């Protein structure tokens, strides 16, 4: 099967080069035959790469340990669930996964794009072929997943225990899907620039694709946080690790784009900015891959240092030069159709929102690359860590959160003073009262106070918008309030789905603020002894070490400590935390022992217990007890964001004429509101 896989890669490689060449030439010269050939090349590549991916899965499932990749990432006793996910557990496999998904997305774009946007498709095919071919090239010349060993080991090395977690089965593919699907809006942007068809049409064509990648990336980020939280055992979900930052960067610029695109649609402004954001987001996604693969920046996630990094560096620089050259040459065609009329307008708040998002992205990028930059400039590596990112991004993030509430309340073009008073009275009151209530209840952390008060303000704006829209429908169409609310959401998915996303973001910020009150203690306990910790909500938790048990389970030997937890003396239940020693099929230990965290969650706080180790031969054990407030709200917030995103993207919603009429209705509501 690996012969088939390698063969499929070569087919994809040759077809890809052909597709890219005829795609660019055919599009530039208007040769329909070449364009069609390029389109077919995308489909062929997709088929070839699916075959290659299938061959690798075949080798994985059949334990063909003569294949280096199979031997490196799986073993006979690896649960089948993780054997499947070994496809993207390692560098080579994830390159194959990437290329395969890209070719699939490329084919979908060819098939699903509406006929009126068809003029862009030949260029899109050419770009998709180019990018996919790059990935295939890296595989064939630097990281072939099908390369064989000179001998056949009896068993493979197995998968790293930290990847043997359900989160790992879903988190990487989601992130990858987000990264990869960004190539499609990028391809459309290049298509629009190359074909000089720069009216607002291309925007419509790529908006949905951008939403798709934004949604996948959002889900991937939250799942990654969840995995880090339950698996890594350091007690948090975000560490500003370079790899996390690499995924956050394109998310920030795409979020900026999804907002500024509305200004271009409504007012014909910001064309240059929007194109730059699309190209920039894509370059950031490639840079993210470069960072994770090259080992230039040390990160807990980085793969082995390998020549793959150089390929990515070259590709990154080459595509940056090529796209921005094209961009600069088209600048004269990208003039704005309107001017900013007032500082107090929707446009202005969106512009500030964009500046903040890009500012945050820039500071995250700078902090991530700072070790390299400082070494290049001063000769000494200087690193910045979480304190830097928090210090810079908390104030900026709070500003952004406030704009989340302010933006939707301000009319397009120019807002009048009575209009402002009417819009802001209730939400501002809600925000102030939230802050006062927290102060009275004893909260003194400035940033947490600000975050939750601003959160209250934003939630009130969202509630006000929903209430007004529902009431307007109720009056105008005599619908019951429930029906009116349903139709309001169903017929203005973009707007009200967006508000739901905002609600999710508020929930996330409140949850992040909760982490300011994290408390922890470490203790060495004999069975029967206990440790106490006071929670930020004023309770006292008592953890009693009941004893150690040891047993074998699946592919591991488990040492588990059982802890009884009490809140103010009342028993809440038991919790176990484990050390796992993974073994191979012959029972020999593989990998370092890994820690399994014990977590007891409720809506207010998580009790997070880590077994640090057992004193040799006794049941005396070292524990770290942490109380993490509001963690569940991170997962809930993530779900709300995803739900809102889905509502925004959901297809349908009537004919273009109906949509236009409704857009007008929405605008009128704002103007009246």
User: Which C-beta is closer to another protein: that of 385 or that of 528?
Assistant: 385
Minimum distance from CB of 594 to another protein (Å)?
5
H-run or E-run covering 362:
helix 346-378
Residue 405 near residue 461, CB atoms below 8 Å: yes
* Look-up of token digits 């089965």: 169
User: Which C-beta is closer to another protein: that of 231 or that of 465?
Assistant: 231
Minimum distance from CB of 544 to another protein (Å)?
19
User: Which C-beta is closer to another protein: that of 304 or that of 328?
Assistant: 304
Please state, in angstroms and rounded to a whole number, the distance separating the CA atoms of residues 15 and 501.
41
Residue 433 near residue 456, CB atoms below 8 Å: yes
Please state, in angstroms and rounded to a whole number, the distance separating the CA atoms of residues 261 and 275.
10
Neighbours of 294 (CB within 10 A): 19
User: Which C-beta is closer to another protein: that of 233 or that of 637?
Assistant: 233
Minimum distance from CB of 13 to another protein (Å)?
26
Neighbours of 626 (CB within 10 A): 22
Minimum distance from CB of 294 to another protein (Å)?
13
Minimum distance from CB of 44 to another protein (Å)?
32
Residue 627 near residue 535, CB atoms below 8 Å: yes
User: Which C-beta is closer to another protein: that of 47 or that of 167?
Assistant: 167
Residue 494 near residue 261, CB atoms below 8 Å: no
Q: What are the strands of the beta sheet with 621-629, ordered from one edge?
A: 519-525, 621-629, 605-614, 598-601
Alpha-carbon distances of 281 from 154, 255, 438, rounded to whole Å: 45, 10, 39
Minimum distance from CB of 281 to another protein (Å)?
19
Residue 220 near residue 505, CB atoms below 8 Å: no
Exposure of 335 by Cβ count < 10 A (0-12 exposed, 13-18 middle, 19+ buried)? exposed
List residues near another protein by CB under 8 A.
72-73, 89-90, 157-158, 160, 162-163, 233-234, 298, 300-305, 339-343, 345, 348, 351-352, 355-356, 359-360, 362-363, 366-367, 370-371, 374, 380-385, 387-389, 391-392, 395-396, 399, 522, 524, 590-595, 610, 612-616, 620, 622, 624
Please state, in angstroms and rounded to a whole number, the distance separating the CA atoms of residues 588 and 586.
6
Ordered DSSP codes for 66-84:
TBHHHHHH--TTS-HHHHH
Minimum distance from CB of 591 to another protein (Å)?
6
Q: Which of 92, 100, 58 is nearest to 73 (CA)?
A: 92
Strand partners for 531:
543
What angle do helix axes 386-409 and 446-477 make, rounded to 10 degrees?
Answer: 20
User: Which C-beta is closer to another protein: that of 50 or that of 334?
Assistant: 334
Residue 466 near residue 488, CB atoms below 8 Å: yes
Neighbours of 404 (CB within 10 A): 26
User: Which C-beta is closer to another protein: that of 370 or that of 433?
Assistant: 370
- Residue 14: which region, alpha, beta or left (left: phi > 0; alpha: psi -120 to 50)? alpha
User: Which C-beta is closer to another protein: that of 42 or that of 168?
Assistant: 168
Please state, in angstroms and rounded to a whole number, the distance separating the CA atoms of residues 358 and 355.
5
Minimum distance from CB of 244 to another protein (Å)?
14
User: Which C-beta is closer to another protein: that of 371 or that of 645?
Assistant: 371
User: Which C-beta is closer to another protein: that of 386 or that of 654?
Assistant: 386
User: Which C-beta is closer to another protein: that of 370 or that of 665?
Assistant: 370
Q: For Cα atoms 552, 557, 560, give the angle at the middle one, nearest 5 degrees.
A: 90
Return the half-sphere exposure (C-beta side, CA atoms, 13 A cut-off) of residue 524.
5
Minimum distance from CB of 363 to another protein (Å)?
5
User: Which C-beta is closer to another protein: that of 220 or that of 497?
Assistant: 220
Minimum distance from CB of 60 to another protein (Å)?
15
Minimum distance from CB of 497 to another protein (Å)?
27
Minimum distance from CB of 251 to another protein (Å)?
18
Pairing mode of beta strands 621-629, 519-525: antiparallel
């Amino acid at each position: 099967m690996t012969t088939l896989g390698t063969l499929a890669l070569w087919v994809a490689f040759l077809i890809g080069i052909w597709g890219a060449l005829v795609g660019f030439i055919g599009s530039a010269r208007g040769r329909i035959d070449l364009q069609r050939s390029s389109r077919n090349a995308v489909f062929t590549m997709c088929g070839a790469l699916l075959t290659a991916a299938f061959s690798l899965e075949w080798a994985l499932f059949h334990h063909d340990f003569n294949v280096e990749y199979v031997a490196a990432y799986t073993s006979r006793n690896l649960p089948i669930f993780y054997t499947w996910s070994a496809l993207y557990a390692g560098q080579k496999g994830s390159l194959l996964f990437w290329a395969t998904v890209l070719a699939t997305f490329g084919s979908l774009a060819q098939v699903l794009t509406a006929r009126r946007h068809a003029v862009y498709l030949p260029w899109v095919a050419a770009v998709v072929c180019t990018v996919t071919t790059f990935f295939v090239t890296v595989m064939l010349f630097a990281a072939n997943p099908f390369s064989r060993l000179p001998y056949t080991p009896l068993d493979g090395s197995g998968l790293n225990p930290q990847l043997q977690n359900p989160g790992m089965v879903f988190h990487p593919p989601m992130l990858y899907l987000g990264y990869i699907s960004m190539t499609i809006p990028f391809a459309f942007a290049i298509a629009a620039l190359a074909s000089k068809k720069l009216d607002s049409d291309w925007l419509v064509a790529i908006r949905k694709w951008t939403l798709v990648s934004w949604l996948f990336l959002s889900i991937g980020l939250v799942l990654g946080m969840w995995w880090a939280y339950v698996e890594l055992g350091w007690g948090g979900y975000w560490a500003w690790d370079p790899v996390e930052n690499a995924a956050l960067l394109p998310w920030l610029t795409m979020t900026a784009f999804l907002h500024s695109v509305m200004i271009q649609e409504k007012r014909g402004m910001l064309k240059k900015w929007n194109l730059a954001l699309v190209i920039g987001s894509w370059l950031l996604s490639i840079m993210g891959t470069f960072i994770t693969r090259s080992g230039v920046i040390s990160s807990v996630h980085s793969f082995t240092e390998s020549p793959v990094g150089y390929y990515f560096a070259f590709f990154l620089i080459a595509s940056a030069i090529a796209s921005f050259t094209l961009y600069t040459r088209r600048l004269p065609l990208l003039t704005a159709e309107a001017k900013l009329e007032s500082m107090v307008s929707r446009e202005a708040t969106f512009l500030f929102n964009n500046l903040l998002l890009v500012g945050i992205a820039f500071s995250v990028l700078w902090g991530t690359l700072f070790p390299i930059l400082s070494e290049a400039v001063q000769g000494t590596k200087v690193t910045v860590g979480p304190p830097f990112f928090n210090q810079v991004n908390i104030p900026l993030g709070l500003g952004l959160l406030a704009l989340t509430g302010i933006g939707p309340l301000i009319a397009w073009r120019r807002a009048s003073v009575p209009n402002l008073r009417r819009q802001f009275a209730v939400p501002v009151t809600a925000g102030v009262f939230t802050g006062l209530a927290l102060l009275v209840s004893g909260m003194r952390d400035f940033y947490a106070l600000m975050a939750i008060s601003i959160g209250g303000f934003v939630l009130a704006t969202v509630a006000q918008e929903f209430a007004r829209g529902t009431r307007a429908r109720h009056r105008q169409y005599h619908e019951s309030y429930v029906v009116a609310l349903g139709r309001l959401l169903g017929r203005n998915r973009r707007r009200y789905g967006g508000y739901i996303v905002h609600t999710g973001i508020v929930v996330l910020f409140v949850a992040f603020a909760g982490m300011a009150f994290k408390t922890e203690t470490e203790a060495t306990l004999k069975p029967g002894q206990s440790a106490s910790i006071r929670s930020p909500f004023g309770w006292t938790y008592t953890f009693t070490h009941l004893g150690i048990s040891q047993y074998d389970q699946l592919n591991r030997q488990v040492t588990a400590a059982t802890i009884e937890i009490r809140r103010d003396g009342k028993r809440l239940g038991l919790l176990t935390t484990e050390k796992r020693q993974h073994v191979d099929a012959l029972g020999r230990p593989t990998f370092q022992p890994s820690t399994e965290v014990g977590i007891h969650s409720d809506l207010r706080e998580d009790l997070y217990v880590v077994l640090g180790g057992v004193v040799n031969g006794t049941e005396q054990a070292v524990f770290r007890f942490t109380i993490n407030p509001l963690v569940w709200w991170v997962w809930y917030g993530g779900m709300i964001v995803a739900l809102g995103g889905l509502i925004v993207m959901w297809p349908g919603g009537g004919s273009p004429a109906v949509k236009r009429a409704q857009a007008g209705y929405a605008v009128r509501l704002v103007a009246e509101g």
